Every structure is written in structure tokens, then in C-alpha cells.
Amino acid sequence: MKNSISWMRVVVLFFIVLGLMEFFIDSGDKPAVIAYPMTQLFLVLVLLLLIGIELILQAVENVMFQTLSPEAKERYLATKSESKGWKWGSKTYQKLLGSKPIEAEEEIILDHNYDGIRELDNKLPPWWVYMFYATIIFGVIYLVRFHILNDYNQDLEYEQEVAAARIEIEEYKKNAKDLVDINTVELFTETADITAGKTIFESNCVACHMADGGGGIGPNLTDDYWILGGGIKNVFNTISEGGRDGKGMVAWKQILKPVEMAQVASYILTEINGTTPANLKAAEGELWLDPETEGQEVIEQAKDSVTVASPTATETVQ
Ligand code: HEC
């Protein structure tokens, strides 16, 4: 008897399971099969199970078939070969093609005869005609919506997408503090970050910079004079890459995480910088002016505070 496993059924069921799995498992950006390799094993099991079920069904059908009388066998085969779904499918397919079967071509043949070449008066295939109607409907709706009602245009669409993307980037940045580097680092202002920075400073940096930032082996961190540049970017860079060779300031990027370096840099700039410690090491380096707030006032103030804090500073600094 003609009886093959329904591979179609196996494939369809398999993809339904796969689809359901992807739908229900929350795996972020990646598909679940990649995010959780265990699911691959699960899918293989599902596939084996489906094949197994098909094999069993086939075996059962075989056994049943053998028990039938010859007439019953014939009847069974007849009904099977024209099972409903298949019949409906092939009928609609024929309808959509709209072509006459070869036996019926006599009905549509035209009188023209070009040296034995003759012409059939075929109808336009319905699949093509329906598609053509669909484009007309689409065209009308489009015309009314965008040229009469002015629903939205490309500019608006673009702006909306950019705005949405900006929000997404902000969200992403919030959750991905560890991604900061010299190009993206910004001054943290949240108390949690500053407190974390303080802890890091106290456990790693006080030996050379003192708890109040007054300086020791390392320079003071309280004034506006910086050897390696002020501002969050430079300070972050100094902490990450270390100071000049042989001066004693190591590159902390091996020890601290990027976010920790940003936290301690923010702590220095917000809590330590600008204070007047008891033992202040003389200013070293150059006066740093924030390029964004640069102005006469800032320069005056900065010079004043240095002269007051340490009279010797004027010699080291020009
Ligand atoms: C072993 C001593 C030592 C330790 C520990 C140390 N530093 Fe330094 N630090 C220095 C020295 C020395 C310099 C000057 C480097 C130079 O002149 O190039 C410096 C420079 C700096 C500067 C730049 C100052 C300027 O004027 O440009 C910053 C910012 C800084 N350190 C932050 C830190 C932080 C944050 C830590 C802790 C994570 C730390 N340091 C730990 C010795 C140290």
C-alpha cells in the first residue's frame, strides 16, 4: 500500500513548537535557542518524538490494513487517495491558475492560424487579476490617507524613530554603566555613585593622596591645578592609564572596573576638589579650566584660592 510518513506534519508541528518556545521564553535580544543552549536539546527531543509518533502511527495503520478483507482494502485506499484536504487544495490551485485542461482546449481555440500556429483565448489567470485588484485598493487607500488626509510623512516618521532610539539609548546607558570609557565617561551626580567612589578612594588611594586629598606621594587633588589634566575625562584617563612613568601612579584599569574608575573620579571632582585640607601639598601642574565654563571669573577665583592656600604655589605654577 502507498503509505509514507507525513513529513509535512512533522515539519509543521516542529516549527509550531519552536515558535511557541520563542514566544514564551524571554531571552532578550537573542533568540531563545541561542541564549539558552539547553533548548536545542529540547528541540532535538521534540523532533525525535514527532518522528517516533509518525512511525508508530504508520505501523498501526499497516497492521490494521492487513486485517482488512480485499474489498475493504480497496475501499480504504480509494477514500484515502482523495482525502478532503488534498482535494480542496488542488481545486483552489486549479481555480487560481484559471487555465483550461489540455482536453478542453478545443473550446477556447481561435480561428487564427499562422502557418499552423494557433492561438488559445485563455482568460487572465485569477491569481494575477486578484493581485491587480489588490494594488488598486491599496492605491486608493494610500492616496486618500497620505495625499488628502496628510496622515504623516517621511520626515515625521524619521523624527519619531530617532526620538524613540534616543530614549532607548538613554535606557541602555542607565543599565550599562560598566560600558563607560574615556569617550563616554560623564560626571556621576547620584549619591550612590559618589558614596561608592568614596569607598574605592578610601581603600585604594589614600596611601598616596591622603583621605582628604591633600596629597603625599601623589599630588593634591583639591585645587584646580592638574599635572595630567582636570575634568572628568582627564581624571578618568589618569586613573585608568596611570601617571607618568616612574612617578608611582599605576594604571588602575587592571584592578578597578570602568564604572568604579568613573565613580572614584566623580568622587574626587565633586567631594574632594575645591576643599581645603589641613595638610595641603603645593599645587603642581597647570591650571585647568573647564572648556565649557571657561571665563574670566573662573580664572580669578582659581588663582585666588591657590595663593591663599599655599603661598609657594606661585613658584611652581606660572
Ligand atoms: C602609590 C601611590 C599612589 C596611589 C596608591 C594612587 N596614586 Fe594617584 N597619583 C600618584 C602620583 C605619584 C601621581 C602623579 C603622577 C604623575 O606625576 O604623573 C598621581 C596622580 C593622580 C591623579 C592626577 C593628578 C593630577 O594632578 O593630574 C589622579 C586623578 C589620581 N592620582 C587619582 C588616584 C586615584 C583615584 C587613586 C586610587 C584608585 C590613586 N590615584 C592612587 C600616586 C598614587
pLDDT at 306: 45
Q: What pLDDT sits at residue 299?
A: 44
Produce one character per residue of 48-81: b if its CB has 16 or more CB atoms within 10 Å, e if not: eebeeebeeeeeeeeeeeeeeeeeeeeeeeeeee
Look at residues 16, 18, 11 and name the one whose alpha carbon lies nearest to residue 54: 11
Q: How far apart are CA 27 and CA 34, in angstroms?
A: 9
How many Å apart are CA 168 and CA 162, to the nearest integer?
Answer: 10
CA–CA dist 296, 298 (Å, integer): 6
Which pLDDT belongs to residue 16?
A: 94
Q: Is 118 helix (H, G, I), strand (E, B) or coil?
A: strand
C-alpha to C-alpha distance for 175 and 169, rounded to whole angstroms: 10
Contact indicator for 39, 20 with CB cutoff of 8 Å: no
Residue of 117, 267, 120, 270 whose CA lies nearest to 195: 267
Centre of ligand 1 from the C-alpha of residue 185, in Å: 19
pLDDT of residue 2: 46
Size of the chain, expressed as the number of residues it contains: 318
In order, the DSSP letters of 224-293 are SEESS--HHHHHHHHHHH-SSTTSS---GGGTS-HHHHHHHHHHIIIIITT---SSPPPP-SEE---TTT
For ligand 1, residues with CB inside 6 Å are 201, 204-205, 207-209, 217-219, 221, 226-228, 235, 238-239, 243-244, 247-249, 252, 264, 268, 285
Per-residue pLDDT of the chain (318 residues; tens, 9 = 90+): 445 567 888 899 999 999 999 888 888 788 888 888 888 999 999 999 999 999 999 899 889 988 989 888 888 888 877 666 677 888 888 888 877 777 888 888 888 888 989 888 888 888 999 999 999 999 999 999 999 998 888 999 999 999 999 999 888 877 777 788 888 888 988 999 999 999 999 999 999 999 999 998 999 999 999 999 999 999 999 999 999 988 889 999 999 999 999 999 999 999 999 888 888 888 898 888 877 665 444 444 444 444 444 444 444 444
DSSP state of 307: H
**pTM, 2 dp:** 0.51
How confident is the model at residue 297, as a pLDDT? 45
Between the CA of 204 and the centroid of ligand 1 the distance, in Å, is: 10
Given the CA of residue 252, which atom of ligand 1 is nearest to it? 38
pLDDT for the residue numbered 135: 97
- Locate all alpha helices (DSSP H) within 25-179, ordered by sequence: 32-35, 38-66, 70-81, 84-97, 126-142, 154-175
Q: Which atom of ligand 1 is nearest to the CA of 243?
A: 18
| Distance from Cα 173 to the centre of ligand 1, integer Å | 28
Q: Where are the alpha helices (DSSP H) in 176-257?
A: 191-204, 206-209, 231-241
For ligand 1, mutation pick of 198, 206, 238, 253 (most atoms within 8 Å of CB) = 238
Q: Which CATH superfamily is domain 191-316 in?
A: Cytochrome c-like domain (1.10.760.10)
Q: Is 266 exposed, middle or buried (0-12, 13-18, 19+ CB in 10 A)?
A: buried
**Could you identify the residue written with the cell 497620505?**
146
